[in-house]
Amino acid sequence: MDARHKGGFRGFYLQQTDDETDANPKTSEALFVYTDRSAGSKGERVRVSGRVKEFHHLTELTDVDTLTVCGTGRLPAPIPVTLPWPDNQQPEHLENMLVTIAEPLTVIDHYNLARYGELTLAARNQIIPTEFMEPGPSAKALFRTQQENRLLLDDAKAVRNPRPVPWPIGKLAAGNTVRAGDRITGLTGILDYRFNAWRVQPLSPPTFQGANSRPAPPARPDSSSLRVVTLNLENLFNGDGQGGSFPAPRGAESASQFERQLARLVTTLSAPDPDIIAVTEVENDGYGRHSAIAELTRALGEHWQYIKAHSETGNDAIRTDLVYRTDRVTALGSASRLASGPFRHRGRPPVAQVFRPMGSDFALRVVVTHLKSKACRGATGPDRDQHDGQGCYSHSREQATRAILHWIDALPQAENLAGTLITGDMNSYGREAPLQAMAEAGYTNAVRKFHECNDITCNRTSYRYRGRSGTLDYSLVSKGLAGHLVGATTWAVNADEPQALGYQGPIPVDENLPWRSSDHDPVITDFSF
């Protein structure tokens, strides 16, 4: 392969013909020649001399002083390779060589698709280990194995922000996406190693197979008399609420970008036909008519109202909130927020409100929470990464969870209260400490009651991070309320879609489409009263 084209790697890949190899299966028969010299083209034999060195672990020939064309030769046959790598051994013996991927691969990450023209591939979907197994050495070992058995589909360019975006074939667009879970076949090219990742620089475009189609909104069960939708809004900030003060501290950078964000969120939230909506990552800017939650509520329509939990919303830039349909649900009493213990000086105080569906004698309490993220900035003591798969601040998340459970037990009991729904972004995967604490307290993971999760199949997740799928967003149902639970799922509208199609992305998208309206998928929970 010649990568001396404009925007290329300033060199070419050179490989021995099949009849001239050293017959040592442990060594590569190729290297990358880093040169601006123009001699040589695909299929020609060349004699080249220079200095061999490792450049960010890529073996290459540099400081080329001789490059002579010696006639034509026979191109080597591509070597079949598979993932996972045999015996979990990295393929250094094939570095810079022509290979063909013998079996279909699955797209597991597209974070750098529009930025560097890359897609991350694996043999199958990779699930966060602590989503289905206990934190500890085994979870960390599986994490490492997953990381080592990946391959990037590259675009043979050293260009940032390539336009058009190279994948999928036919140009990335709202109607031509590549979703995590889609399959790729017919991939043949140079096995390259750059920026700490094995990648294929294809000789020709591979074939994309849609294996994870965009789903319709989950149907509401016939027995459902109350539907709750939970969504992390990915920083809904509306400036001054009158079209100014952009860029906002988070989220939208302009008024037009905010309008796109809001329209797509409204489409996502409205499509499942909810009665109550629990949101996280909404701007913590009060409850006046120009607040972000007020603007979202107006955009949802005339029947919607937001819960005014004025006091103790915390000092974080974002908070949790509740909105509901006044023609279907009645809010009983005033809202409460937990502003003591772990939430006294930091964090995002959870909000609680009791609701009664119209025509029902029963009520339920909805608690919306958003726990500390796994980012390690400022972590000290037990909040540092314990290397068990839970990341940083696991201790704080567990302490906050126990404080929330204690607080709920102390809240006043409403008449005919069926139980409590704790919902929101826990920033914890399914087997991590906060979820274990919830289970010990008698709360049921509603989605997992209907959808199993193991190392092979775990489709109903809500988030994707660096190529792994997992659940951060939950509906957790108390013992009394569990008898009224008739359905729970996630709607895969966001996490599997490329970030490039988001409201801040470079690809124009119809504002009324739900796809990639956030980085989290909504959780949808149905009850019968």
Structure tokens at 26: 């442990």
DSSP 2: B
DSSP secondary structure code for residue 204 in this structure: S
Do 177 and 254 belong to one domain?
no
Domain span holding position 442: 226-527
Is pLDDT above 80 for 310? Answer: no
Q: Give Cα 377 to chain centroid, integer Å.
A: 20
221 in a structural domain: no
Same domain (yes/no): 156, 274: no
Give me the number of domains the chain comprises.
2
H or E stretch including 464? strand 463-465
Residues 236, 504 contacting (CB under 8 angstroms): no
Show which of 180, 213, 246 is a domain's final residue. Answer: 213
> What pTM was estimated for this model as a whole?
0.95
- How far apart are alpha carbons 429 and 373 in whole angstroms? 11
> Is pLDDT at 186 greater than 80 in this prediction?
yes
Residue 70 shares a structural domain with residue 204: yes
Question: Do 436 and 519 have their domain in common?
Answer: yes
Closest of 35, 45, 58, 38 to residue 15, by C-alpha: 45
CATH code, 235: 3.60.10.10
Over 80: is that where the pLDDT of 311 sits?
no
Same domain, 438 and 347: yes
Q: Are residues 81 and 172 in the same domain?
A: yes
Distance CA 491, CA 404 (A): 27
pLDDT in tens, 409-438: 999 989 999 999 999 999 999 999 999 999
Report how far residue 313's alpha carbon sits from residue 224's, in angstroms, rounded to the nearest whole number: 32
The pLDDT assigned to 493 comes to: 98
Examine the domain organization and report whether 232 and 152 are in the same domain: no
| 322 is a domain residue | yes
> Do residue 438 and residue 460 come from a single domain?
yes
511 touches 263 (CB < 8 A): yes
Residue where a domain stops, chosen among 192, 213, 234: 213
In a domain, residue 276? The reply is yes
**Tens digit of pLDDT for each residue in 214-238?**
999 999 999 999 999 999 999 999 9
Whether 123 is covered by a domain: the verdict is yes
- Is position 219 within any domain? no
Residue 117, both tokens: 């023209």
Q: What is the sign, positive or negative, of the torsion defined by CA atoms of 302, 306, 310, 315?
A: negative
| pLDDT recorded at residue 312 | 86
For residues 262 and 117, state if they share a domain. Answer: no
CB 370 within 8 A of CB 393: no
Q: Exposed (0-12), middle (13-18) or buried (19+): which is 175, by Cβ within 10 Å?
A: exposed
The pLDDT value given to residue 103: 95
220: in domain: no
Any idea which of 393-397, 487-491, 507-511 has the lowest mean pLDDT? 507-511
CA angle centred on 11, ends 6 and 17, rounded to 5°? 130
**pLDDT for 138-162, tens place per residue?**
999 999 999 999 999 999 999 999 9
Residue with tokens 């329209």: 263
pLDDT of residue 343: 93
- Residues 304, 175: one domain? no
Whether 169 is in a domain gets the answer yes
If asked whether residues 258 and 369 sit together in one domain, one would say yes
Considering the domain architecture, whether residues 202 and 163 belong to the same structural domain is answered as yes
With a cut of 90, say whether residue 54 has pLDDT above it.
Answer: no
Which CA distances in Å does 375 have to 64, 102, 359, 385, 404? 45, 38, 45, 10, 22
Q: Which pLDDT value is given to residue 58?
A: 86
Q: pLDDT tens across 8-37, in order?
A: 999 999 999 998 888 888 899 999 999 999
